[in-house]
Amino acid sequence: MIVHDAMKSLEHFEDGRAAALAGLGYAGFVLDVYGKGVHGRSFDESLALMTPFQNDRAALQRRLRAGLAAAAAQPEIDGGALAAIGYCFGGLCVLDLARANAPVRGVASFHGILTPPPAEAKLAEPGRAIEPRVLVLHGWDDPFVPVETVPAFAREMSERRADWQLVAYGGTVHGFTKPSANQPEIGALYDAKADRRSWQALGDFLAELFAEPFASIDATASSTTTATTATTSTKLPTTASATSPAPRKLYFEDYTVGLEMKGGAYPVTEAEILEFGRRFDKQPIHNDKEAAAKSHFGGLVAPGCLTFAIRTALGNQMPDRPALVAGLGVEKMDLSKPVRPGDVLSLRMLVVDRRISAKRPDRGIITMEHAVLNQQGEPVLSMISRMMVEVRDARTADV
């Protein structure tokens, strides 16, 4: 899964979406078409970076093809099973990949620009059918996509015999998937409902492309590693089923001191924070956007109990599970940094002590340090836990 950046070049948002896809068992690769280290710090700078590519779609296509080749060369990626998603300018990029019949199974555009390239760009042979499947997720009131371009896009896709879909969200403007979008005066505003619905639509689309189940955005299961321009993951089963083996059990003997386990990718949504806050933690910073904006946090933050619950969910996403008898408690919990909408959390666990139970030699006690990390690798929660697990063989267990 290749994630194409929006006009402002790489932000943590794109990394988060790649991590979410990696957490679902796909390999997520973030492509920055502007080049390594080239980022717009303001709207005007970003516009200056984007405009040359908009004006020369053939040059843009060459850059996109180079990105596809770089992605396909990664050892974690199956180069014969590529798909691409893009946001805003990235939406235009992935639609151009489809128009040019690039080697992808399908593309999905989120609040993307629909304007076709000029004929002189020669992205494809005249009259040739579009082979990749196409999904467009569009805010109906997006001022950056003039209303007349929508039927024009539909005609273009139909005339080129594409397998295409267009889903429009009423009362929704540009940038509806990005929690940082908060410029209603220019028609760019996050919409949690459209964000959730469009992600589910992507899930259905990918299930068709790859003929595999697709979990919801907060039911991820995998590990991620990040490079300069890529977030990738070895493809792992997301759920136990007839075609996906059950997670491997870890017994006392498997938990050696110094063993470190990492993984998971949990995107935190605004809707989740608000719902949890309204039900369980009625502080305004958790359940009232306007009040939270006026607080010293400057916006919504997740309740600590929600962050702890996410830690548990991340543990359940690990490909290996403890042969658990019981949890024995936690201590020294520290909430070191606020968790905000749009953060993507992962988990790191380290075994620091192990011993056989004095009363039950068929059971062992494992002590672990836990750290929940945000997309910048900063700890947002840390704690120490103890759990009792089964001993595989009490006769040979190392005490």
Average pLDDT for the chain: 83
Query: Contact, 98 vs 104, CB < 8 A?
Result: yes
Number of domains making up the chain: 2
pLDDT tens-digit readout, 243-259: 334 567 899 999 999 99
Domain for residue 239, yes or no? no
The DSSP letter of residue 254 is G
Instruction: Look up the domain containing 334 and give its range.
Output: 248-390
Largest CA distance in the chain: 80
pLDDT digits (tens, 9 = 90+) for 112-133: 999 999 887 788 777 789 999 9
Measure the CA–CA gap between 155 and 114, rounded to whole angstroms.
12
The CA distance from 154 to 166, in Å, is 8
Residues 206 and 283 in one domain: no
Q: Is the Cβ–Cβ distance between 350 and 258 less than 8 Å?
A: yes
The C-alpha torsion from 171 through 175 and 177 to 180, rounded to 10°, is -120
**Residue 214 banded pLDDT, cuts 50, 70, 90:** very low
What integer pLDDT is reported at residue 157 of this predicted model? 94
Q: What is the pLDDT of residues 155-205, one digit of tens each?
A: 999 999 999 999 999 999 999 998 888 888 989 999 988 998 998 899 889
Q: Could you tell me the CATH number of the domain that includes residue 153? A: 3.40.50.1820
Last residue of a domain, one of 171, 199, 232: 232
For residue 204, the tally of other CB atoms under 10 A from its CB is 12
d(CA 178, CA 181): 5
Does residue 262 share a domain with residue 125?
no
In a shared domain, residues 311 and 336: yes
